[in-house]
Amino acid sequence: MSVGRRLSTEEKKEIFSQLVATQDATQGAVDYVRKSYEIVTKQFSISDEQLRAIEVEGSDNDWPPLSEPIPAH
């Protein structure tokens, strides 16, 4: 596992939010999860391992946008 710079909780929340938004935007594309990882790791200059850890932490802690109410249509 490569060790990158230490990220603050706020930075990790921003990265998590961007990952969710990127997955939503690319959903339906072939390998959209892999593609979203490529986009976000490049955008924030982090490793796949860091992003995986952020994804787990964000999901476990119900970080936004997961904790935001779904708007009524």
Q: Is the pLDDT at 8 greater than 90, yes or no?
A: yes
Q: What is the pLDDT of residue 65?
A: 82
Q: Give the mean pLDDT of 2-23.
A: 89
68 DSSP 8-state letter: S
Task: Quote the domain boundaries for residue 50.
Answer: 30-65
Domain count across the chain = 1
Tell me the pTM.
0.81
Q: Give the mean pLDDT of 20-43.
A: 91
Asked if residue 21 is part of any domain, the answer here is no
Asked if residue 19 is part of any domain, the answer here is no
pLDDT tens per residue across span 45-65: 999 999 999 999 999 999 988
User: Which whole-number Å values give the CA distances from 25 to 22, 28, 35, 49, in the listed order?
Assistant: 5, 9, 11, 22
Q: Is the pLDDT at 39 greater than 90, yes or no?
A: yes
